[in-house]
Amino acid sequence: DAGITQSPRHKVTETGTPVTLRCHQTENHRYMYWYRQDPGHGLRLIHYSYGVKDTDKGEVSDGYSVSRSKTEDFLLTLESATSSQTSVYFCAISGASGVTNEQFFGPGTRLTVL
Amino acid sequence: QKEVEQDPGPLSVPEGAIVSLNCTYSNSAFQYFMWYRQYSRKGPELLMYTYSSGNKEDGRFTAQVDKSSKYISLFIRDSQPSDSATYLCAMSETSGTYKYIFGTGTRLKVLA
Protein backbone atom coordinates (compact mmCIF):
# COMPACT_ATOMS: atom_id res chain seq x y z
CA ASP A 1 0.00 0.00 0.00
CA ALA A 2 1.12 3.54 -0.70
CA GLY A 3 0.20 4.78 2.77
CA ILE A 4 -3.17 6.28 1.95
CA THR A 5 -6.23 6.00 4.12
CA GLN A 6 -9.71 7.32 3.56
CA SER A 7 -12.46 7.94 6.08
CA PRO A 8 -15.21 7.08 6.39
CA ARG A 9 -15.16 3.98 4.22
CA HIS A 10 -18.93 3.91 3.94
CA LYS A 11 -21.52 6.62 4.48
CA VAL A 12 -25.24 6.95 3.96
CA THR A 13 -26.67 10.43 4.15
CA GLU A 14 -29.73 12.37 3.13
CA THR A 15 -30.18 14.90 0.37
CA GLY A 16 -29.26 18.40 1.45
CA THR A 17 -26.87 17.47 4.24
CA PRO A 18 -23.18 18.42 4.19
CA VAL A 19 -20.64 15.61 3.95
CA THR A 20 -16.87 15.66 4.40
CA LEU A 21 -14.57 12.90 3.27
CA ARG A 22 -11.00 12.70 4.46
CA CYS A 23 -7.87 11.46 2.76
CA HIS A 24 -4.70 10.96 4.79
CA GLN A 25 -1.28 10.05 3.44
CA THR A 26 1.95 9.14 5.22
CA GLU A 27 4.28 9.25 2.19
CA ASN A 28 4.87 13.00 1.83
CA HIS A 29 3.48 13.10 -1.70
CA ARG A 30 3.11 16.59 -3.11
CA TYR A 31 0.03 15.99 -5.24
CA MET A 32 -3.32 14.75 -3.99
CA TYR A 33 -6.48 14.08 -5.96
CA TRP A 34 -10.14 13.28 -5.47
CA TYR A 35 -11.92 11.14 -8.06
CA ARG A 36 -15.34 9.64 -8.30
CA GLN A 37 -15.97 6.33 -10.01
CA ASP A 38 -19.31 5.52 -11.59
CA PRO A 39 -20.38 2.68 -13.90
CA GLY A 40 -19.87 3.62 -17.52
CA HIS A 41 -17.85 6.73 -16.66
CA GLY A 42 -14.70 5.36 -15.14
CA LEU A 43 -12.64 7.60 -12.88
CA ARG A 44 -13.34 11.31 -13.12
CA LEU A 45 -11.29 14.00 -11.43
CA ILE A 46 -13.16 16.24 -8.99
CA HIS A 47 -10.39 18.39 -7.51
CA TYR A 48 -6.68 18.14 -7.03
CA SER A 49 -3.99 19.76 -4.91
CA TYR A 50 -0.41 20.57 -5.85
CA GLY A 51 0.65 21.73 -2.39
CA VAL A 52 -0.62 22.96 0.96
CA LYS A 53 -3.47 25.40 0.33
CA ASP A 54 -2.99 25.02 -3.44
CA THR A 55 -5.98 23.39 -5.07
CA ASP A 56 -7.75 23.48 -8.41
CA LYS A 57 -10.83 22.09 -10.11
CA GLY A 58 -11.11 18.94 -12.14
CA GLU A 59 -13.69 17.99 -14.73
CA VAL A 60 -16.61 17.34 -12.34
CA SER A 61 -16.10 19.89 -9.57
CA ASP A 62 -19.61 21.37 -9.34
CA GLY A 63 -21.10 20.78 -5.89
CA TYR A 64 -17.73 19.90 -4.32
CA SER A 65 -15.10 21.86 -2.45
CA VAL A 66 -11.72 20.82 -1.06
CA SER A 67 -9.16 21.96 1.45
CA ARG A 68 -5.58 21.05 2.20
CA SER A 69 -4.16 22.67 5.32
CA LYS A 70 -1.42 20.04 5.83
CA THR A 71 0.65 17.98 3.40
CA GLU A 72 -0.86 14.77 4.67
CA ASP A 73 -4.57 15.64 4.62
CA PHE A 74 -6.93 16.44 1.76
CA LEU A 75 -10.61 16.97 2.53
CA LEU A 76 -13.51 16.75 0.10
CA THR A 77 -16.75 18.46 1.08
CA LEU A 78 -20.16 18.08 -0.45
CA GLU A 79 -21.83 21.28 0.70
CA SER A 80 -25.37 19.99 0.15
CA ALA A 81 -25.41 16.38 -0.97
CA THR A 82 -27.60 15.33 -3.90
CA SER A 83 -28.55 11.86 -5.14
CA SER A 84 -26.34 12.40 -8.21
CA GLN A 85 -23.36 12.43 -5.85
CA THR A 86 -23.95 8.83 -4.86
CA SER A 87 -20.71 7.24 -5.95
CA VAL A 88 -17.44 5.68 -4.87
CA TYR A 89 -14.85 8.32 -4.07
CA PHE A 90 -11.15 7.65 -4.38
CA CYS A 91 -8.27 9.71 -3.15
CA ALA A 92 -4.97 9.45 -5.01
CA ILE A 93 -1.46 10.72 -4.47
CA SER A 94 1.64 11.24 -6.56
CA GLY A 95 4.94 13.05 -6.49
CA ALA A 96 6.96 11.73 -3.55
CA SER A 97 9.48 9.80 -5.65
CA GLY A 98 10.05 12.59 -8.16
CA VAL A 99 8.30 10.53 -10.81
CA THR A 100 5.06 12.41 -10.59
CA ASN A 101 3.15 10.30 -13.06
CA GLU A 102 2.95 7.25 -10.84
CA GLN A 103 -0.33 7.74 -9.08
CA PHE A 104 -1.44 5.64 -6.13
CA PHE A 105 -4.99 5.22 -4.93
CA GLY A 106 -6.64 4.86 -1.55
CA PRO A 107 -9.22 2.18 -0.68
CA GLY A 108 -12.25 4.33 -1.51
CA THR A 109 -15.31 5.72 0.25
CA ARG A 110 -18.71 4.43 -0.78
CA LEU A 111 -21.23 7.27 -0.41
CA THR A 112 -24.97 6.87 -0.75
CA VAL A 113 -27.20 9.94 -0.81
CA LEU A 114 -30.86 9.13 -0.22
CA GLN B 1 -15.83 10.50 -28.73
CA LYS B 2 -14.00 9.71 -25.53
CA GLU B 3 -10.27 10.43 -25.36
CA VAL B 4 -9.64 6.87 -24.19
CA GLU B 5 -11.68 3.85 -25.25
CA GLN B 6 -11.59 0.51 -23.49
CA ASP B 7 -13.79 -2.53 -24.06
CA PRO B 8 -15.74 -3.12 -20.83
CA GLY B 9 -15.87 -6.90 -21.21
CA PRO B 10 -16.38 -9.11 -19.34
CA LEU B 11 -13.57 -11.16 -20.80
CA SER B 12 -13.58 -14.78 -19.65
CA VAL B 13 -10.55 -17.01 -20.18
CA PRO B 14 -9.43 -20.39 -18.83
CA GLU B 15 -6.62 -20.55 -16.30
CA GLY B 16 -3.22 -20.53 -17.98
CA ALA B 17 -4.35 -18.55 -21.01
CA ILE B 18 -2.60 -15.47 -22.34
CA VAL B 19 -4.79 -12.42 -21.85
CA SER B 20 -4.66 -9.32 -24.02
CA LEU B 21 -6.25 -6.13 -22.75
CA ASN B 22 -6.32 -3.02 -24.90
CA CYS B 23 -7.01 0.69 -24.97
CA THR B 24 -7.17 3.11 -27.86
CA TYR B 25 -6.81 6.84 -27.55
CA SER B 26 -7.22 9.93 -29.69
CA ASN B 27 -4.80 12.45 -28.15
CA SER B 28 -1.40 12.12 -29.81
CA ALA B 29 0.16 14.19 -26.99
CA PHE B 30 -0.15 11.34 -24.48
CA GLN B 31 3.32 10.14 -23.50
CA TYR B 32 2.87 8.34 -20.17
CA PHE B 33 0.80 5.19 -19.96
CA MET B 34 -0.34 3.22 -16.97
CA TRP B 35 -2.25 0.05 -16.22
CA TYR B 36 -4.12 -0.46 -12.98
CA ARG B 37 -5.75 -3.56 -11.52
CA GLN B 38 -8.86 -3.07 -9.43
CA TYR B 39 -10.42 -5.83 -7.38
CA SER B 40 -14.07 -5.56 -6.45
CA ARG B 41 -14.66 -2.92 -3.78
CA LYS B 42 -10.97 -1.97 -3.69
CA GLY B 43 -8.92 0.95 -4.95
CA PRO B 44 -6.99 0.76 -8.25
CA GLU B 45 -3.50 -0.71 -7.86
CA LEU B 46 -0.75 0.47 -10.21
CA LEU B 47 0.57 -2.47 -12.24
CA MET B 48 2.63 -1.01 -15.06
CA TYR B 49 3.97 2.41 -15.96
CA THR B 50 5.57 3.17 -19.33
CA TYR B 51 6.85 6.18 -21.17
CA SER B 52 6.44 6.68 -24.93
CA SER B 53 6.49 3.66 -27.24
CA GLY B 54 7.83 0.18 -26.68
CA ASN B 55 7.43 -2.74 -24.32
CA LYS B 56 7.91 -3.17 -20.61
CA GLU B 57 7.86 -6.49 -18.83
CA ASP B 58 7.31 -7.28 -15.16
CA GLY B 59 6.88 -10.92 -14.28
CA ARG B 60 3.81 -12.27 -16.05
CA PHE B 61 2.78 -8.80 -17.23
CA THR B 62 3.90 -7.01 -20.39
CA ALA B 63 2.80 -3.50 -21.32
CA GLN B 64 3.05 -2.46 -24.94
CA VAL B 65 2.62 1.02 -26.42
CA ASP B 66 2.17 1.76 -30.12
CA LYS B 67 1.98 5.53 -30.44
CA SER B 68 1.69 5.44 -34.22
CA SER B 69 -1.57 3.51 -33.89
CA LYS B 70 -2.59 5.21 -30.61
CA TYR B 71 -2.99 1.80 -29.05
CA ILE B 72 -1.76 0.29 -25.82
CA SER B 73 -1.95 -3.29 -24.58
CA LEU B 74 -1.44 -5.26 -21.40
CA PHE B 75 -0.59 -8.94 -21.77
CA ILE B 76 -0.94 -11.38 -18.90
CA ARG B 77 0.83 -14.71 -19.33
CA ASP B 78 -0.18 -17.89 -17.51
CA SER B 79 -3.31 -16.20 -16.19
CA GLN B 80 -4.52 -17.21 -12.74
CA PRO B 81 -7.93 -16.97 -11.04
CA SER B 82 -6.35 -14.33 -8.78
CA ASP B 83 -5.95 -12.14 -11.89
CA SER B 84 -9.75 -11.81 -12.05
CA ALA B 85 -10.34 -8.08 -11.65
CA THR B 86 -11.07 -4.95 -13.62
CA TYR B 87 -8.11 -3.50 -15.50
CA LEU B 88 -7.94 0.24 -16.12
CA CYS B 89 -5.67 2.05 -18.51
CA ALA B 90 -4.63 5.64 -17.84
CA MET B 91 -2.64 8.23 -19.76
CA SER B 92 -1.12 11.65 -19.33
CA GLU B 93 0.60 14.15 -21.56
CA THR B 94 3.53 15.34 -19.51
CA SER B 95 5.31 14.63 -16.27
CA GLY B 96 4.20 16.65 -13.28
CA THR B 97 0.69 16.96 -14.64
CA TYR B 98 -2.49 16.55 -12.68
CA LYS B 99 -4.40 15.39 -15.72
CA TYR B 100 -4.73 11.65 -16.07
CA ILE B 101 -7.31 10.26 -18.46
CA PHE B 102 -8.70 6.85 -17.56
CA GLY B 103 -10.40 4.17 -19.57
CA THR B 104 -13.61 2.79 -18.12
CA GLY B 105 -11.99 -0.57 -17.40
CA THR B 106 -12.15 -4.14 -18.72
CA ARG B 107 -13.53 -6.79 -16.41
CA LEU B 108 -11.50 -10.00 -16.59
CA LYS B 109 -12.55 -13.41 -15.30
CA VAL B 110 -10.02 -16.22 -15.21
CA LEU B 111 -11.79 -19.56 -14.81
CA ALA B 112 -10.16 -22.35 -12.80
pLDDT in tens, A56-103: 999 899 999 999 999 999 999 999 999 999 999 999 998 766 655 688
| Residue A11: its H or E element | strand A10-13
A-to-B residue pairs, Cβ atoms closer than 8 angstroms: 57
Q: Which H, E and C letters describe chain B, residue by residue?
A: CCCEEECCCCEEEECCCCEEEEEEECCCCCCEEEEEEECCCCCCEEEEEEECCEEEEECCEEEEEECCCCEEEEEECCCCHHHCEEEEEEEECCCCCCCCEECCCEEEEEEC
A50 has a chain B CB within 8 A of its CB: yes
Give the minimum alpha-carbon distance from B88 to chain A in angstroms, rounded to a whole number: 9
pLDDT tens-digit map of A46-59: 999 988 999 999 98
Give the pLDDT band (50/70/90) at residue B16: very high
Pick A101's closest partner by Cβ from B32, B36, B43: B32
pLDDT tens-digit map of B17-61: 999 999 999 999 999 899 999 999 999 999 998 888 889 999 999
What's residue B11's pLDDT?
Answer: 94
Give the minimum alpha-carbon distance from B85 to chain A in angstroms, rounded to a whole number: 15
A41 has a chain B CB within 8 A of its CB: yes
pLDDT beyond 90 at A38? yes
Question: Do A100 and B95 count as a contact with CB atoms less than 8 A apart?
Answer: yes
B residues 60-99 near A, CB within 8 Å? 88, 90, 92, 95-99
Pick B43's closest partner by Cβ from A42, A50, A107: A107
Question: Do A45 and B104 count as a contact with CB atoms less than 8 A apart?
Answer: no
